[in-house]
Amino acid sequence: MTTAAPPVIVRYEPRGAARQLFKTRDSEVVMAGPAGTGKSLAALFRVHLAALNNPNIRCLIVRKTAVSLTSTTLVTFDKKVAADALARGIVTWFGGSAREAAGYRYSNGSVIVVGGMDKPEKIMSAEYDLVFADEATELTVDDWEAIATRLRNGILSWQQQIAACNPGPPSHWLKQRCDTGEALMLTSRHRDNPAYMNADGAPTDKGRDYFSKLDKLTGVRKARLRDGIWAAAEGQIYDGWDDTIHLADPRPIPDSWTRWWTVDFGFTNPFVLQCWAEDGDGRLWLYREIYYTQRLVEDHARHILRLVRRCADCCDSKADDHDCHACKECKLEWAEPRPRALICDHDAEDRATLERHLGLSTQAAHKSVSDGIQAVKSRLKVAGDGKPRLLVMRNALVERDPALEEASKPIGTVDEITGYVWAVKPGNAGGLKEEPLKKDDHAMDAMRYMVAAKDLGGRPRVRWM
């Protein structure tokens, strides 16, 4: 006689907007609110419980890029949502194959497929009952509407796509979609998250620490991440920036495109490396970015070389821990064209350290701020071919700095640019002058160095060391 397996243990207390999410049957639902309100957690539980209780349904968890999904959303799913089911084999992970996308398989026949819209081939070839898009402000309206066409599996009596996001600018297509009634907006608040607030409204110890970090934010980031407001930055410098125009899906960079690197030094503040490629039309593409704190320049240099070099004549070591970059028998070669120029902040000591460890010479950046900003603004304008002359690839960021994420600080160019604002100061003649606010501007400096070198500077002097 076989004994039935004990029921899956699920401990979750939905409150507020999270509780509403479990009740609504609207076809499009947007969970929006400040950072740390449990939006993603609620949506993940919604999908998980639906898969547990409805045999043979098909669900999808998606983000703009597969890499960001794996490093964030799926970690939460594994550790906080499906941990018990995974431990007991009721849910198993399938890593994907040539024919089938990766995902979670349930013992009752249900499946949760996972993937990114940067690699849509497999996830968009199937049909679903329930879809959850995390950090949905990263998606384009075309992404969202394409996903909607796959909601036709028909096993659930209701088909639904859920978005979770922090607020963006009020002009964002998700906000507009909710304002026109095409989607239902559920506003999530910190009181909805039991980890941060008790039922009586008092913050927990963990919540008190978290809120103290959010309270240190300023400007548009505080409005969005602390207060949950769909806000535009007052005095935004690059007001021509538009995610739907200036963010580009990942693509191969031809070797024929000229490469440029820019660096803004930092340790307590982020060290920034931006790798740019110039296409045949003179358009600049940011295709790689390092934005990280608490690392020495020499350690950054070693990391950079690992990204751009490969073993040309491996020593054939079979050791699992063999490191070609540290092996004297391995011959390393560049896997991409070397930069035409390495343009740096003026710090002489850091420049010398970087030169020594990279084996490349550097040139000092054009430091005049006002004309550099104007040059960047000019490149952000859409040209006659319908494209701007500066774009950022969605997968450019090499790694996310956990210390910056924990502090709800910007983690790269895309995070900085919408909060880069003017600081109005008294002028010499009693009037007012405008200068950028010197806060969270490290990637903005590096981007300005690039555009100024290309559009305002002279011919770069390059020397290999």
pLDDT of the chain, 465 residues: tens digit per residue: 455 556 666 778 899 999 999 999 999 999 999 999 999 999 999 999 999 999 999 999 999 988 889 888 999 999 999 999 999 999 999 998 888 899 999 999 999 999 999 888 889 999 999 999 999 999 989 999 999 999 999 999 999 999 999 999 888 999 999 999 999 999 999 999 999 999 888 999 999 999 999 999 888 889 999 999 999 888 899 989 988 889 998 899 999 999 999 999 999 999 999 999 999 999 999 999 999 999 999 999 999 999 999 887 765 555 556 788 888 778 888 999 999 999 999 888 999 999 999 999 999 999 889 999 999 999 999 998 889 999 999 889 999 999 998 888 899 999 999 889 998 766 655 555 578 989 899 999 999 999 999 999 755 544 444
Domains of the chain as residue ranges with CATH: 16-214 (3.40.50.300), 243-301+337-455 (3.30.420.280)
pTM: 0.76
Contact 69, 115 (CB under 8 A): yes
* CA atoms lying within 13 Å on the CB side of residue 57: 22
Rounded Cα distance between 54 and 347, Å, is: 61
Q: For the purposes of burial, counting CB atoms within 10 Å of the CB of 290, is it exposed (0-12), middle (13-18) or buried (19 or more)?
A: buried
Q: How far apart are CA 191 and CA 199, in angstroms?
A: 8
